Each structure stands twice: as structure tokens, then as C-alpha cells.
A and B are shown apart, each in its own frame.
Chain A
Amino acid sequence: MILAVVGGKGGVGKSTVSLNVADALDGVVVDADLGMADLPYGPGPDLHDVLADRADVIEAVRECSGADTGPEVDVLPCGRTLAGARAADPTALVRALERVDEHYGPVVVDCPAGMAADAGLPLYAAESCLLVTTPDGVAVPDALRTRALARVLDAGVERVVLNRARDPPVERVERTLGAPVTVVPEHEAVDRARTDGLSVIAAAPESVPAERFREIGAALQ
């Protein structure tokens, strides 16, 4: 299964959702934000190298060790340089994601903001997507535009993740975006886990956000 995590607007929590849903699915999270990557990174080949045909995609996946330190989720990180982003062939992402899916199982793709091809190509490769938004009046219209793109590219919207919601307008968002909504409340455990480069499922398994991410994972399986 290839699942794209999209949203349109930046800063709504796509990377946090991607990392945690990948953990819940016991899958691989792919940082497909070629220009502004932010998932945990470490030494070794990355997605820029894969898309420039300098490395094999399977070699670029950082497998979680099961030890107490290091990532709790298998991660395909992305390089951080503009030169790497420019050298990358964005269309090669499609085959790379298919290969990770064949080799590892569920693939969760952290997509960039916007509506350019780097957001469209993961949707093209994916069977379905999660639409991430915050409840504000800027993010929801962007999510609506992204939903239209997902429809064109045949990636069904599995679920809307209403992130950092205090008093969530669940019915209104459900009506607007036409998919079931899962609310992930603002929580200090999420910030703490992100600072430590961990999923909140690993860092604070009893927290409400961790419980919600596990619910999303169960709904996807």
C-alpha cells in the first residue's frame, strides 16, 4: 500500500502525521519534500541520491534497529540541499515508491505543501491519501484544492486528519472535505516527540495523539 499524506498548506503537521501513521502501520515513511525535508535524517544515501540515480532506493531506507535509541520507524530520508533537489528527477519517485512498497510493505509518503508535481507525483503513485489540515480558514480551502487534485490523480481520500484542534468543527470539516475526520488535539507530547526525532506512539504511547494515530492505522488496515 502506498499512502500519500497531503494537505496543500505548509505547517499543518503532515510530517508528524506521516511518521506516526507509518509507525502505526509498521511501514516505511518516505520524506518526499524534495526542497524542504524535515523528517529524521542520518548519514548515508537519501532520496535525492535515489532520484538522481546515484543510489538504490532499498539501500537508502534506514531500518529501525529495535534498540532504545534511533528511529522507531523505517525512514527513507530526503537530502537537505538545493543542489540535491535540482539534480533529482521527480518522476523517478513513482518507481522508487513502488519498489519500497514491494520490498517493505506499507509506504507512507510525507508530501510537500503546494500543488506542484512534487505533491502530485506521490498522489499519482498512491492508491489513497490522508488529507491533513488544521481547522483554520486558510488550511481548509487548501485541503479542498488538494482533494480535487487527489481525485484527478485517482488517490481516494481515506480520512481527514484535523490536526492541532482545540474545539474541532468536525461536522463542518467532514461536510466540506467529504471524508471521515480524525481529530488529533494539540499536545505537548507531540512537540516533545518531534524534538527527539521520535513518533509520539513511541515517545508517549498513552497520550491522546498516540491513541488517535493508532486509530488511523487500524482504519487503514
Chain B
Amino acid sequence: MVELDCTTARPGGVTLVAVRLDNRVDAPGVDAHRIRLVSAIDGATWPPRVQGVPAAPWDGDAAEVVVPTGRVGSLGFASPEPPADPPVTIESVEPAAASSRGDAVADDVGDDPTADDVLRVLGDPSPPRDAVAPPSVSVESSGSAVEAGAEPDVISGDSSP
């Protein structure tokens, strides 16, 4: 069986849930199990985010974690709603391959990736906020309007508004 050890806290009106999964399934020859957990909190689930998209195990209010037999896995999430007891329930436990494909990107992307998986694993290419000029403010100067912070139009070379 899989033993769950859950702790919850609610600082600042947000419920934080930490889950420890102890894989004690007695299954000779099975290296690992894919354990699917569902939040039991009645309300929104806020999974951890990587590169702006939900972390790999998450799919809505459920998450799948592969834990080697005899080992311990972990999971955490948040919710704006009050905690439930227990905060998660196990939906399924199935045998899974513990072996990797020997490539970090391949392992992270998975066998059937989505565009969000690609974004999370490879990284968001968007320029940082500080690199982007603030919204334009028209300033009258020497009789001509100048947009403070406006990016130049590199095609025509014309930076006037």
C-alpha cells in the first residue's frame, strides 16, 4: 500500500499542503508505481508553477507521481480554500517503469508532451519585464511630441510617435 503523510498550514489566508508518499506496495518485480492523487479541498487548486505553467505532475486538481518501490515521494500545492482532512485522496496506483531514457530533456518532457510541457522544460523565451520599456508617456519638448520609453521602430528607423 501507499502511506500518505499530509501536513497543512494556512498562513495569510492560503492553504499550503505538503504530502509525503511512502510506497510500501508489496509487488515483487515492480520497480516503481505511478500514484495519482486528487485534491480533496473543495475549491481551486494552485499547483507549483515552472516557467509560468503548472509543474509536470499536475493536471487540473490531480497529480501523478512515480515513486520507486520502497521509496518516498513528495508533492505540494496550495489553495485559497480552507484545508480538508485529508487534503488529498489516492485515485489510483499502477506499476510504472522507473528507468529513464537517459536524457534529461526526454525524461522531463515525457512520452506524450503538450506545448505547456515543452515550455516548462525548455524555458520561457520571453524577455524579462525590466527589458521592456514602460508604457509610453507623451512629453511635449521643443515643440515636438516625444514618447518617453518608446522602443524605436527598427524597420524604418523612425522613433517618433
Give the docked Cα–Cα distance between A81 and B156 (Å): 13
Q: Across the interface, do B153 and A35 meet the contact criterion of CB distance under 8 Å?
A: no
Q: Is B124 on the interface with A (CB-CB < 8 A)?
A: yes
Q: Would A86 and B115 be within 8 Å (CB), given that A81-B151, A115-B122 are in contact?
A: no
- Please, which residues of chain A bring their CB within 8 A of the CB of B116? 91
CB distance from A37 to the nearest CB of B (A): 10
Q: Is B103 on the interface with A (CB-CB < 8 A)?
A: yes
Q: Is A70 on the interface with B (CB-CB < 8 A)?
A: no
Give the docked Cα–Cα distance between A149 and B108 (Å): 12
Q: Across the interface, do A117 and B122 meet the contact criterion of CB distance under 8 Å?
A: yes
Q: Across the interface, do A153 and B151 meet the contact criterion of CB distance under 8 Å?
A: no
Q: Across the interface, do B103 and A148 meet the contact criterion of CB distance under 8 Å?
A: yes
A contact set with B: CB distance below 8 Å: 34-35, 41, 80-83, 85-86, 88, 90-91, 94, 112, 114-121, 124, 148-149, 152-153
- Please, which residues of chain B bring their CB within 8 A of the CB of A83? 132-133, 151
- Please, which residues of chain A bring their CB within 8 A of the CB of B129? 86
CB distance from B110 to the nearest CB of A (A): 10
Q: Across the interface, do A152 and B132 meet the contact criterion of CB distance under 8 Å?
A: no
Q: Across the interface, do B124 and A90 meet the contact criterion of CB distance under 8 Å?
A: yes
Give the docked Cα–Cα distance between A83 and B133 (Å): 7
Q: Can you sample 29 A-B contacts with CB below 8 Å?
A: A34-B125, A34-B126, A35-B125, A81-B151, A82-B131, A82-B151, A83-B132, A85-B125, A86-B132, A90-B125, A91-B53, A91-B118, A91-B119, A114-B125, A115-B122, A116-B123, A116-B125, A117-B51, A117-B119, A117-B121, A117-B124, A120-B119, A120-B121, A121-B119, A148-B103, A148-B105, A149-B105, A152-B106, A153-B113
Q: Is B88 on the interface with A (CB-CB < 8 A)?
A: no
Q: Across the interface, do A35 and B127 meet the contact criterion of CB distance under 8 Å?
A: yes
CB distance from B105 to the nearest CB of A (A): 5
Which of B51, B118, B155 is close to A121, meaning CB atoms less than 8 Å apart? B118
- Please, which residues of chain A bring their CB within 8 A of the CB of B121? 117, 120
- Please, which residues of chain B bring their CB within 8 A of the CB of A116? 122-125
Give the docked Cα–Cα distance between A62 and B51 (Å): 32
Give the docked Cα–Cα distance between A112 and B123 (Å): 14
- Please, which residues of chain A bring their CB within 8 A of the CB of B154? 80
Name the interface size band of chain B: 20 to 34
Which of A80, A94, A114 is close to B115, meaning CB atoms less than 8 Å apart? A94
CB distance from A50 to the nearest CB of B (A): 15
Q: Would A90 and B106 be within 8 Å (CB), given that A83-B132, A85-B126, A117-B124 are in contact?
A: no
Q: What 20 additional pairs, Cβ within 8 angstroms, besides A90-B124, A112-B125, A153-B109? A: A35-B127, A80-B154, A82-B133, A82-B151, A83-B132, A90-B119, A91-B115, A94-B115, A117-B51, A117-B119, A118-B125, A120-B118, A120-B119, A121-B119, A148-B105, A149-B105, A149-B122, A152-B103, A153-B113, A153-B118
- Please, which residues of chain B bring their CB within 8 A of the CB of A34? 125-126
Give the docked Cα–Cα distance between A41 and B125 (Å): 22
CB distance from A82 to the nearest CB of B (A): 5
